[in-house]
Structure 1
Amino acid sequence: MESRTVTSPSENHREPFAAIPPITPAELRLAFNTFVRDSLSPVSAGLGFLYMVFTIAHALLLPDAIALPMSLVAAGTAITFFMIRLFLGRSPLPARWAHPLGAMMAALVLVNSLLHLYLTSEPIQTTNLVLLVIGVGFLFLSLSWLGSILIMTFGGWVVVALMAAPSPEWTHFGFALLSASVLATLIHLARSRTLKRLEGFRQRDERRKIELETALTAKDEALRIAETSKRDLLQSETRLRLMTSRMPAVLWTTDTELHFTSSLGMGLAELDLRANQIAGMTLFEYFQTNSRDFPPIAAHQRALKGESVTYQSEWKGRLFDSKVEPLHDAEGRLIGVIGIALDITESRRAEEQVKVSLKEKELLLKEIHNRVKNNLQVISSLLNLQAGYIQDEQARARFKESRDRLKAMVLIHEKLYQSDDLTAIDFGGYIRNLAVHLFRAHQVDARAIALHLDVEPLNLDIDRAMSCGLIINELVSNAIKYAFPNGKAGEIRIGFHEEAQKQIVLTVGDNGAGLPKELDFRQAESLGFQLINTLAEQLHGTITLDRDGGTRFTLAFRH
């Protein structure tokens, strides 16, 4: 019989990537409802804060005729969302009510958007409905509920468009709303398929976890029984034989000349042996070798010198963890070696399956980031295409700003997809890519406006990276558009460093015309500055402005 030391795990029991256990419709429906329910709490809180901002913005920005009704509706909507958030925080919502509650929240947003569209009669306000449609595409996992919201949205828009003054822009924005509805449906289908696979993996991993815990429990129990048997050997040989004969392992003893004196245990059956069948045979005869360096023989020789030796070996296609120790008589004299071998074949296979499962999850997460990146690129392309049909320069500029913000998010997911670490990205490299993109998108003449980068290769998690990326996008875009009027030359500088106590410092500056002295960027009404301040708060950081020699914004936050 041959034995060899195993130095690498078996590769023969890996399951294919697509081997997902079947999920019943009821299990899948429950999983989808649970995903949606868990999303409602942060979504309701976010919408509540958003409509608080809208309440103030409507009062300040809208014409007097519609400012009051729109502010009141926005305030009521904000209060409703906060009440929903409070209810979800205090009382667990049954999963089956997740989609109905989500539909009610979407309906609140729809009513606000349609009322705004009707009162302003501006086709560009259709963008609110576009964002709503894309949002429900990400939130809902029920095609029927998604379809209902899309039909209500498109129907409401058609009614408002027919009541408004005729304009070619209604057609353009109608096409944008239809495109967004198609995209929302595609997003829904992609998320549903992905989450279905994730649920299958989760259920399979739960089963494998139970199997592995059972195997490990059996292993621990066998080792415990083996240790107890060794202590009781000299006191009661009869009791030892009774116990070891029922153990799922192999127990043996040898004399000082390495002759087997006993062999017991249920594990003998896996080796085609009976109890004590090899008694009297030497280890050299059993393993059919003359080498004293053969691992099991070398381990027994070390045990004869007083050592406790653990080794791993494979016998007849079964993998064993083995341990040998010196065997003494009642007077403490060395009389041989006692050993135990535990069959770990199944537990090793279970460990390999867990490793394969973790690898599959990594691949799936990369695929998710890739699909999100592709979906965002599709949205960016749609905005760019729609901008070509818009005659109003201000509206076209807003579309381009939205496109640049989407591109900042696309680059985050692209970096994650290309990275081996799915939890963080090299933000220094990301800054370089984003800055180059912005210069190209705005057709900057590099001979007139120079770009200087002083960035460290620091890793940021996806949430911080997304916030910082959007802040850089806003500040660099503003510098390109406004800092160098009439073709004036200058430079834009971006810095990114880690200082003492894990403090991250991000700087974006230029030596251009500078901001008006009377402008307080923290109270500015522009969407860009509001976005910058909101993102800085989300980072729990501080942002300051230095007007000396141009404009220089400094953002500091904890790593």
Structure 2
Amino acid sequence: MNGFRPNLPGTTERSDAERQVDAVQRQGGIFARAVAVTRMPMIVTDATLPGNPVIFANGAFLAISGYTMDEVLGQEPHFLDGPDTDPATIQRFKAALAEQRDETLEILQYRKDGGTLWAALFVGGWADASGRVVHHFLSFLDITRRRAAEDDLRRLTQDLERRVAERTQELTAANARLSRLLAENGVLLREVDHRAKNSLAIASSLLITQAYQQADPAVRALFLETQERLGAMAQAHDLLSKSLDRSRIGLAPYLRDLCASLMTAAGTNAGIRIEAQADEDIHVPANHAIALGLVVNELVTNAVKHAFPSSRTGHIKVTARRSGASHVMLRVRDNGVGMSGDREGALGYGIVRSLVEQIDGEMDIDCDSGVAVTVTFPG
């Protein structure tokens, strides 16, 4: 299994080796005795003889290697090397002995029973009075557990790196699929937006055409009111199509654009001013935005028609504010003549109540100094 040689020296040669050990112990005094009893496995070689044979091994070395003293004496110093010992490390070991210099290395060694151990091996020389190295001391620190822990850590690291690489590859592929789907979705949404805008524009044009073909002013007004409702829906759709989040819409810009359009539509009533003010941080779901746009359209249109008779000038103000942590308060107020029976029973107020119910809101009407309609809803 290793470099151990079973052909041990004969009796005479063994006696010579023992005398060498005795000589080392006498020359080394208390130091030699300390080596003999230390728990650090150690061997001593004779550097003056061919092959640098082992002439002493302490009890700790015999225990860790499994060999007896008789089996160890006369062996070459690298006799614990085996088939899996790194050849480059063996060469460093042999070179240190041949060049008679100190060396520290980690090396795989083999016990007598074939088991392996990792050792931190230190090679050092002992010179005589003339400076010639006559002995080598070799100490073996068992680092098997440390190397096993390092191997386990290395395997865990490699496994983690493999898993990270696999996961990264999966995420890269998933991101590529997502990017492709988003691109396809973007094309689809643009096509839907285009068709929706065209449909709303065509419907609006048809209503206007039909309105001016009606001889009855009341019928014509109904067509135009319906066209204005489509306009409110079209503005909500336009803002959604430009938003990064197509599920929600900023209420402030929506109300400003809507009121600007209603101001234009009320052009014949030049003395009426329509104003919008809203908290910029209010965002509402898309379906709520369309309902709220229709509510504002109905209330403002109703105020334009009924609050300022006989070319009376006035002001219509649309506001949206936070009401507590979970609700929004939308208010349309005018400073007109107040609520009349005709105005309260108009079709627009019935539509408003229906729309407010759709968004789980509540509606309140205040007729002090004009009319103020307040809609409170979750948001």
Shift of 1:356: 2.2
1:547 equivalent in alignment to 2:367: yes
Distance 1:358 1:376 in 2: 26
- Contact preservation (8 Å) 2:329, 2:376: yes
Alignment of structure 1 residues 24-423 onto 2, 5 Å: 331-333=145-147, 335=150, 337-338=154-155, 339-340=158-159, 341-342=161-162, 344=166, 347=170, 348-423=172-247
Partner of 2:111: none
Shift of 1:422: 0.8
Percent identity between matched residues is 31
2:226 partner letter: S
- Contact preservation (8 Å) 1:506, 1:554: yes
Match 1:529 to one of 338, 349, 358: 349
Distance 1:530 1:445 in 2: 25
- For 1:383-425, what per-residue CA distance to the aligned partner results, in whole angstroms no more than 9, with x for missing partners? 1112222111111101000000000100111011111111111
Distance 1:393 1:520 in 2: 18
Partner of 1:508: 332
Q: SS of 2:360's equivalent?
A: coil
Distance 1:404 1:532 in 2: 14
1:442 partner letter: A
Flag the 1:355–1:552 CA change in 2: closer, same or farther, 3 A: same
Partner of 1:242: none
Distance 2:196 2:293 in 1: 17
Shift of 1:351: 3.1
Match 1:452 to one of 262, 272, 275: 275
Distance 1:350 1:545 in 2: 54
Q: Which has the higher strand share?
A: 2
Distance 1:494 1:503 in 2: 17
What is the RMSD of the two structures over their aligned residues, measured on CA atoms? 2.6
Shift of 1:366: 4.2
Q: SS of 2:145's equivalent?
A: coil
Partner of 2:261: 437
- Contact preservation (8 Å) 1:467, 1:535: yes
Flag the 1:354–1:441 CA change in 2: closer, same or farther, 3 A: same
Distance 1:498 1:425 in 2: 16
- Contact preservation (8 Å) 1:380, 1:407: yes
Shift of 1:478: 0.8
Distance 1:476 1:511 in 2: 12
- Contact preservation (8 Å) 2:338, 2:367: yes
Q: SS of 2:328's equivalent?
A: strand
Flag the 1:378–1:331 CA change in 2: closer, same or farther, 3 A: same
Distance 2:291 2:175 in 1: 39
Flag the 1:484–1:491 CA change in 2: closer, same or farther, 3 A: same
Distance 2:265 2:195 in 1: 23
Q: SS of 1:380's equivalent?
A: helix
Shift of 1:426: 1.1
TM-score of the superposition, structure 1-length normalised?
A: 0.39
1:483 equivalent in alignment to 2:297: no
Flag the 1:505–1:363 CA change in 2: closer, same or farther, 3 A: farther
Distance 2:237 2:191 in 1: 10
Flag the 1:349–1:501 CA change in 2: closer, same or farther, 3 A: closer
- Contact preservation (8 Å) 1:450, 1:491: yes
Count residues in correspondence.
Answer: 230
Partner of 1:461: 285
1:551 partner letter: V
Shift of 1:427: 1.4
TM-score of the superposition, structure 2-length normalised?
A: 0.56
Q: SS of 1:495's equivalent?
A: strand
1:537 partner letter: E
Flag the 1:416–1:503 CA change in 2: closer, same or farther, 3 A: same
Match 2:320 to one of 484, 490, 496: 496
1:552 partner letter: A
Distance 1:546 1:409 in 2: 27
Distance 1:544 1:497 in 2: 15
- For 1:217-262, what per-residue CA distance to the aligned partner results, in whole angstroms no more than 9, with x for missing partners? xxxxxxxxxxxxxxxxxxxxxxxxxxxxxxxxxxxxxxxxxxxx9x
Distance 2:265 2:204 in 1: 13
Shift of 1:368: 1.8
Distance 1:472 1:406 in 2: 13
Distance 1:487 1:421 in 2: 43
Q: SS of 1:430's equivalent?
A: helix
Distance 1:433 1:335 in 2: 69
Partner of 2:376: 556
Distance 1:543 1:558 in 2: 13
- Contact preservation (8 Å) 1:493, 1:509: yes
Gaps of 5+ in 1: 1-260, 262-278, 281-328
Q: SS of 1:486's equivalent?
A: coil
